[in-house]
Amino acid sequence: MALRSIQKMRFGKNLAAASLLFSFAMGLSGCGGSRLPGASSAGTTPAAKTLRSLSISPANPVLTLGSNEQFTVTGSFSDGSQQDMTQKVSWNSTQPTVAAITSPGMAVSKQSGTTMVSAASGTLSSSTKLTVSPAVLVSIAIAPPNPTVSKGSSQQFAAIGKYSDGSAPDLTSTVAWRVSPSGIATVSGAGLASAQAIGTATVTATLGSVAGATALSVSGPALVSIAVAPANSSIGLGATQQLSATGTFSDGTTQDLTSSAIWASASPTVAAITSPGVALAQNFGTAVISATSASISGSGTLAVMPAAAVNYFSNANTAGAPDATVNVINPGLTGGNLCAMIYVFDSIQEMNECCGCPISADGERILSVNSDLTSNTLTQVTLNVGLVTIVSADQASNPTCNAGTITPAGMLTSWSTHIQAAGPGAFATTEGPSHLTPLSSAELSALQSDCTFIQKLGSGHGICTCGSGD
């Protein structure tokens, strides 16, 4: 009894539980109930989606050296969806010296060639071939830009290329040069433009389909050089030299600039400029004389040499005829006493007499041709005509005024009287200054040598006297 009651109670509980479970199940099947989230009609949990494949793009691109390529990767999943995986995969280049991956999917070209670019996630990957072609010319720059030149002058241009890899080689000898209009200027194959007429032209450099251009302006002719003439000259102390300045312009024309140029002496104590192009010799030495106009200069060299005062003499050698004279003055311009070194030559230019005569500052000497210059000739033959050469010398270094040893210094002036027969027993005299001529070192040496010969071998002959004065 007890056992049966217990069994009935258990059966009743089980039946009630079964009834409750059936009612709940029916509610889930739509009979007034709702489905649990994530539960299937069969009551199971769905499987998570999985990555099935990767796809890289663009496929097999070609880059020019110096450019970049951005790759992307798309992932395909088991549920049919797709997703951008560019930032989630690992990237690799098999030839990083050709192209390197610098950030997710960014390939930077390094040199010409090919490489495989790949993207991987787990065991899945995708790759493509990347080809890097040689750099291409992007632009051409012409230097200098927009220059201005004068008519007749030239301008050298340079063509600088800019390539896709950033390089900038000199293409001057590679490009094709052209100028328009050609009447303004011409241009050579090496980029040298020659200005022919005033105006503006366009200079173009072309290589393939790439070109660069600049403007060339041509102005009037410009002064390019100045020539000073004579370029090298020699004058005696106290003499003047007229120089000229000729300007040459860029178009080949010339112009006399003597009066308009600015003249200067680099050594004014040797030679001073007294008026346009006129140099006055003031001391022995060398001076560079320049002429300048529009910032262009030219120059010449002026040597100031010892000056020899040269004049001819005539000797009437007739009773009652007047005596010719030679007058020598020390004007004192250079200060101190001087020696007048006197050399007498006959009509065939052989030295017959020589002597040295001191002359104080501002002093004068008067020499008689008959008594002082031709009375004691080396040949003991009276000279009718000849030349007298007088050299100014320093007495301080040669107190005895030995004409066989000359130290040129200072400046002397001289003049002579000349005798002409006017008729039987009649004579006329004329007067003329001595001619100052530069005395070269060779001439100076010859004067000293010949005078020394006369002094040693003349047996008292050939030595002139110094006349009156001091």
Q: Which of 352, 439, 456 is nearest to 404 (CA)?
A: 456
Q: What is the pLDDT of residue 80?
A: 93
314, 420 contact by CB (below 8 A): yes
Q: What is the pLDDT of residue 17?
A: 38
At residue 134, does pLDDT exceed 60? yes
Q: What is the pLDDT of residue 124?
A: 96
At residue 419, does pLDDT exceed 90? no
At residue 21, does pLDDT exceed 50? no
- For 314, the token pair is 């005539």
At residue 12, does pLDDT exceed 60? no
213, 145 contact by CB (below 8 A): no
| pLDDT single digits (tens) 138-160 | 999 999 999 999 999 999 999 99
Task: Quickly state the pLDDT bin for 377 (edges 50, 70, 90).
Answer: very high
At residue 16, does pLDDT exceed 70? no
DSSP, residue by residue, 168-231: --B-TTTSEEEEESTTTEEE-TTSEEEE-SSEEEEEEEEETTEEEEEEEEEES--EEEEEEESS
Q: Which of 356, 272, 367, 364 is nearest to 311 (CA)?
A: 367
User: Quick one: how far is CA 261 from the chain centroid?
Assistant: 24
CATH node for 223-305: 2.60.40.1080
As a 3-state breakdown, the chain gives helix, strand, coil percent values, each rounded to 5, of 10, 50, 40
Cα separation, 401 vs 458, whole angstroms: 18
| Helix, coil or strand: residue 449 | helix
DSSP, residue by residue, 127-146: EEEEEEEPP-EEEEEEESSS
Residue owning tokens 């201005």: 148
Q: Which of 140, 153, 231 is nearest to 185 (CA)?
A: 153
- For 42, the token pair is 């069969």
Angle at 229 between CA 247 and CA 263, to 5 degrees: 70
| pLDDT single digits (tens) 239-283 | 899 999 999 999 999 999 999 999 999 999 999 999 999 999 988
Q: What is the pLDDT of residue 45?
A: 59
Q: Where along the chain do the CATH 2.60.40.10 domains lie?
A: 137-219
Cα separation, 52 vs 79, whole angstroms: 9
Residue owning tokens 């009375």: 375
Residue owning tokens 């178009």: 251
Q: Greater confidence, 166 or 2?
A: 166
Q: What is the pLDDT of residue 384?
A: 87
Q: What is the largest CA-CA distance in the chain?
A: 213
Q: What is the pLDDT of residue 332?
A: 83
Tell me the residue type at 466: C
Q: What is the pLDDT of residue 26?
A: 35
Q: Check if CATH label 2.60.40.1080 holds for domain 51-133.
A: yes
Q: Residues in the chain, how many?
A: 470
Q: How far is CA 389 from CA 310, 312, 381, in A?
A: 5, 9, 19
Task: Quickly state the pLDDT bin for 318 (edges 50, 70, 90).
Answer: confident
Task: Quickly state the pLDDT bin for 14 (edges 50, 70, 90).
Answer: very low
Cα separation, 233 vs 217, whole angstroms: 42
Q: Greater confidence, 15 or 120?
A: 120
At residue 41, does pLDDT exceed 60? no
Q: Where along the chain do the CATH 2.60.40.1080 domains lie?
A: 51-133, 223-305
Tell me the residue type at 75: G
Tell me the residue type at 389: T
Cα separation, 383 vs 396, whole angstroms: 33
Q: What is the pLDDT of residue 325?
A: 94
User: Quick one: how far is CA 462 from the chain centroid?
Assistant: 63
Cα separation, 250 vs 150, whole angstroms: 7
Decide the pairing of beta strands 210-219 and 148-150.
parallel
Q: Check if CATH label 3.30.390.30 holds for domain 137-219.
A: no
- For 234, the token pair is 């020699």
Average pLDDT, the chain: 88
Residue 58 preceded by cis peptide, ω within 30 = yes
Q: What is the pLDDT of residue 44?
A: 55
Mean pLDDT value of segment 309-319: 84
Report if pTM > 0.75: no
Query: For the chain, how many helices (H) and strands (E)?
Result: 2, 39
